[in-house]
Chains A and B, each alone.
Chain A
Amino acid sequence: KAGVTQTPRYLIKTRGQQVTLSCSPISGHRSVSWYQQTPGQGLQFLFEYFSETQRNKGNFPGRFSGRQFSNSRSEMNVSTLELGDSALYLCASSLGYTGGDSPLHFGNGTRLTVT
């Protein structure tokens, strides 16, 4: 069974640009969550989608948005990039809601560098 796949693996963007990251969950998983990982702030929850609906949202500005498609694949978009957005963005999928009995399965992440 294929794991969670995130593309691209690395990305370099310039301040002010926008970026879209992609996540393909494990087959059959309906929940996709996104996390930002930085050395200073650690792992911070961005949002969770379940069956194409945003179920939960962290404390990030509106520049961060996401969506989930009918095949459970998810995309995350960051507009008007800032230097502080440089981070490892991790996607995780699970069969059911986060917090239930279904564990999260993480992808290897997308490393975004904003210059």
Chain B
Amino acid sequence: GNSVTQMEGPVTLSEEAFLTINCTYTATGYPSLFWYVQYPGEGLQLLLKATKADDKGSNKGFEATYRKETTSFHLEKGSVQVSDSAVYFCALTDSSYKLIFGSGTRLLVRP
């Protein structure tokens, strides 16, 4: 079945470090891919999305490229801030239009 696999956390970085959170997927057809972020005590917010191969989604300094050949959608940011500390979820919409989430990766940024 369709699934999303994310790297296990927590990921701990110092402020201004480079961030990569790996995400790979298994799906039939051509899913849309998403990154959502969940701050403590809140619901999820859409961070960025890509709807077809080679699309790059970007927002707030984060970016991810839809790589069909490697079935990946890795999240990157050049310089993280303490305020980026949160849980990040990779997700896809499958052929039945359900949103399937990865297990989430907690990011902790230290000053």
Contacts and interface: CB of A to CB of B under 8 A. Distances in A.
Contacts of B51: 101
Interface residues on B, range: 20 to 34
Contacts of A45: 98-100
Contacts of A114: none
B44 A106 contact: yes
B97 A104 contact: no
Contact of A99 (B36, B44, B99): B99
A33 B99 contact: yes
Interface residues of A, number: 24
A90 B43 contact: yes
Contact of A106 (B43, B96, B100): B43
A114 B44 CA distance: 23
Nearest to A109: B43
A103 B46 contact: yes
Contacts of B49: 103
Nearest to B95: A99
Interface of A: 4, 33, 35, 42-43, 45, 48, 55-56, 58, 90, 92, 97-101, 103-109
15 contacts: A42-B102, A43-B101, A43-B104, A45-B98, A48-B97, A56-B96, A92-B44, A97-B97, A98-B98, A99-B97, A99-B99, A105-B46, A106-B44, A108-B43, A109-B43
